[in-house]
Amino acid sequence: MSNCIAIDGPAASGKSTIAKLLAKKLNIAYINTGNLYRAVALAAIRAGRDLARLDREFLETLKLEYTPNESGDYVLKLNGKELEAALRTPEVATGASLVATESEVRDYLLGVQRNFAGKNLIVMEGRDIGTVVFPDAEYKFFVTATPEERARRRLAQNGETADGATLSEVARELAARDKQDSERPIAPLKPAADAVLIDTTNLNIEAVIEKIIGQIKRSN
């Protein structure tokens, strides 16, 4: 069994906020795997590559590494540089969803993610953690919220949407991304059969964390 709390779910469902706070409460490391796909997209955009056709050779030129910060969260660096703000743009989000459809990219990043398997429990967040990356994860959660609520949350996040974007534009962009993420043939976004589903539409973050910790305690 992998020492992992897998948290999967669609875009803007609150997974990152939840995963981060949960890791803090349990005093364990947190890894955001969406950032890997975002970093590949960003590097490809910067290199002027066709995002729909990335090959292994290009991927191997990228030096992707996670370094723990002072709170123990793993921060992704590309060629030695932290990327946070550059990763959180609408262009990179759309690009990440596109590169995530390619088998070359997924195979390559699978290795990077599985390198985290070890003796210490970790929180890993993404789309296919409980289904593909760690199908034997010790705990699995699938976090959702209604499309309207997710669009509202995304609009409230600085920099993640285009300047002046409206709620309906953001909802359309999220719907397109959900469709691409859940309909791709390889490792599509879907709950693992043994994942606990949590609808966060009407729950605040503390209530979600309580539910997850309660579930973890019950299964021990």
Footprint of ligand DC on residues 136-195 (CB under 6 A)?
Answer: 177, 181
| DSSP secondary structure string for all residues of the chain | -EEEEEEE--TTSSHHHHHHHHHHHHT-EEEETHHHHHHHHHHHHHTT--TT---HHHHHT--EEEEE-TTSPEEEEETTEE-HHHHSSHHHHHHHHHHTT-HHHHHHHHHHHHTT-SSS-EEEEESSIIIII-TTEEEEEEEE--HHHHHHHHHHSTTSS-TT--HHHHHHHHHHHHHHHHH-SSS-S---TTPEEEE-TT--HHHHHHHHHHHHHHT-
Question: Would you say 16 or 212 has its CB closer to ligand DC?
Answer: 16
C-beta of 161: minimal distance to ligand DC in Å? 13
Contacts with ligand DC by CB under 6 A: the residue count is: 15
Name the one range near ligand DC by CB under 6 A: 45-53, 63-71, 121-129, 165-173.
Answer: 121-129
Footprint of ligand DC on residues 7-36 (CB under 6 A)?
Answer: 11, 33-34
User: Could you tell me which of 10, 189, 200 has the C-alpha nearest to residue 106?
Assistant: 189
Question: Would you say 96 or 171 has its CB closer to ligand DC?
Answer: 96
Cα 121 to Cα 138: distance, rounded to the nearest angstrom: 9
Name the one range near ligand DC by CB under 6 A: 52-60, 91-99, 136-144, 199-207.
Answer: 91-99
Q: Which of 40, 96, 192, 209 binds ligand DC (CB under 6 A)?
A: 96
C-beta of 17: minimal distance to ligand DC in Å? 12
Residue 38 touches ligand DC, criterion: CB under 6 A: yes
C-beta of 52: minimal distance to ligand DC in Å? 14
Residue 54 touches ligand DC, criterion: CB under 6 A: no
Question: Would you say 77 or 214 has its CB closer to ligand DC?
Answer: 77
C-beta of 88: minimal distance to ligand DC in Å? 8
Q: Tell me if 133 sits within 8 A of 37, measured CB to CB.
A: no
Residue 208 touches ligand DC, criterion: CB under 6 A: no
Which stretches of the chain bind ligand DC, using CB under 6 A? Answer: 11, 33-34, 37-38, 93, 96-97, 100, 126-129, 177, 181
